[in-house]
Amino acid sequence: MLFNYQWQGLQQQIQQLSFSLPLQEVNRKHHKKFVANSANQYVYIELYKAARKINPKDARVNIYRQGQDIEVQVTSRSPEQLEKWQRTIQRSSSASVPTILR
């Protein structure tokens, strides 16, 4: 599964981060409850919940699927608010992964 993150920095420079997780190679003997589609759906729901907490006046969050990938776009007029909400969305995505493997 490929993750792509793109954001605009304080100096209006576009930053990009891409990484891949080998979900096909996960050893199911150690994580019997792990199912890639269910995990992806769970992450999507957690991102959506985090996005709903954001006041639309502060920032706007677009979450959409592209095949197996989840695309997240955060926009704001204020660079401080943009950075704050990007961190919040990233934390909610990262926090949902350990919950999936319970």
- Domain range list for the chain: 30-100
Contact between 61 and 74 under an 8 Å Cβ cutoff? The reply is: yes
Contact between 47 and 93 under an 8 Å Cβ cutoff? The reply is: yes
- In this model, does residue 101 exceed pLDDT 50? yes
CATH code for the structural domain at 30-100 = 3.30.310
Q: Which pLDDT value is given to residue 23? A: 64
- In this model, does residue 79 exceed pLDDT 50? yes
Q: Could you tell me the sign of the dihedral formed by the alpha carbons of 76, 78, 81, 87, in that order?
A: positive
pLDDT in tens, 2-54: 778 888 877 778 888 787 777 666 554 455 665 667 777 888 888 888 888 88
CA quadruple 66, 86, 48, 55: dihedral, nearest 10: -130
Mean pLDDT in residue range 68-95: 83
pTM higher than 0.85 for the full model?
no
